[in-house]
Amino acid sequence: MTTRPIEIIGGGLAGLSLGLALRRAGVRVTILEAGVYPRHRVCGEFITGLEAKTVTRLGVAPFLADALHHREVAWFLRDGAKPVRVQRLPSPALGLSRYALDARLAAAFVAAGGDLRTHTRATDLAPNPGRILATGRRRGHSPWLGLKIHARDFALARDLELHLGDHAYVGLARVGDDTVNICGLFRRRELCAKGANLLLGYLQAAALGALATRLTAAELDPASFCAVAAISFDSRVPPADRVLVGDACAMIPPFTGNGMAMAFQSAEVALDPVLAFARGATSWTETCDTIHRALRRRFRVRLASADLLHPFLLQPPRQRWLGALTRARLLPLRPLYAALH
């Protein structure tokens, strides 16, 4: 059966998983990716809220099979030595390095007959029938900076740790037998340092010195260090005259651990409408409209909830209220988790 070709700009989780599912359905797919595989990304590297039906529909189960299962989160407030609360997750979070996951998806896409063009930065992003944007976060002015590094021989208090600092928070998750991912969101400051020393400096400046001290005793992997600036977050899926998936559609604050799940979920939402277009059953205008409405329905509540809660994790006065409610067991963690996922 002859199909219309599909072009996906961006080869992250959303672009690769959508491209792979389309290719397995017999659609001609080209993915343009500015980078190369494997590579490290600023990412929490744990997945919460990913439903089995999404994994099955996209056919990505084999690529997640060796992910670690995390069940408890320890919450720390500033330089506190002990967690203010340990949260039991309703379902296990998956811990897996993006360095491995992206490379697996890319190799599978090529093996399925997809055309993957790395080191290729698209310059034409105009709306075009069959063109899907999976270009990552939308650029804009923002005071936030993301930093990430891997550490070895590093003991965690629980499967996951979340540390709240002065206009910053940091998540720690095990992504391998001897590897822990440390990823933080920080308000930008004037610090003269590079690599791991930059992360350590930001931890000290954000009143997270106890965590910085723990990290100095660990073996940090300099090759895994990466940074991303001007991070902004979305409270809604924007109107669109094109198909947007992954962070290009909407970027949720990283404390939720839901960003990777949303990438896969947006690919799942787009899959059937794009298949219908590729097979000539619908127009591209209809396809864009169908996907946009479905994405808004799926992500509306969690984006709005995260937007409301996010300031309480970043601002010290609000953190104190959050800590007091948490210690008194008055914070409804399960309903909040449900709203955010």
Decide if pLDDT at 42 tops 90. Answer: yes
With a CB cutoff of 8 Å and minimum separation 6, the contacts of 196 are 149, 215, 220, 222, 225
Overall residue count recorded for the chain in this entry: 341
- Domain assignment present for residue 256? The answer is yes
Structure tokens at 101: 């996951």
Half-sphere exposure of 137 (CA within 13 A, CB side): 22
- Domain assignment present for residue 183? The answer is no
- Domain assignment present for residue 244? The answer is yes
**pLDDT tens digits along 218-240:** 999 999 999 998 788 888 888 77
Residue with tokens 């001897």: 178
Residue with tokens 């073996």: 219
- Domain assignment present for residue 113? The answer is yes
Q: Which of 253, 229, 242 is nearest to 307 (CA)?
A: 253
**pLDDT tens digits along 272-322:** 999 999 999 999 999 999 999 999 999 999 999 999 999 888 888 887 887
Its domain, for residue 265, covers 6-140+233-340
Q: What is the largest CA-CA distance in the chain?
A: 63
3-state DSSP assignment of residue 282: coil
Residue with tokens 């219309």: 4
- Domain assignment present for residue 20? The answer is yes
How confident is residue 266, by pLDDT bands cut at 50, 70 and 90?
very high
- Domain assignment present for residue 191? The answer is no
Decide if pLDDT at 330 tops 80. Answer: no
Number of domains in the chain: 1
User: Residue 100 is part of a domain; what is its CATH number?
Assistant: 3.50.50.60
3-state DSSP assignment of residue 321: helix
Q: How far apart are the first and last CA of the chain?
A: 38
Q: How many other CB atoms are there within 10 angstroms of residue 332's CB atom?
A: 11
Decide if pLDDT at 16 tops 70. Answer: yes
Alpha-carbon gap, residue 201 to 225, rounded angstroms: 14
With a CB cutoff of 8 Å and minimum separation 6, the contacts of 308 are none
- Domain assignment present for residue 179? The answer is no
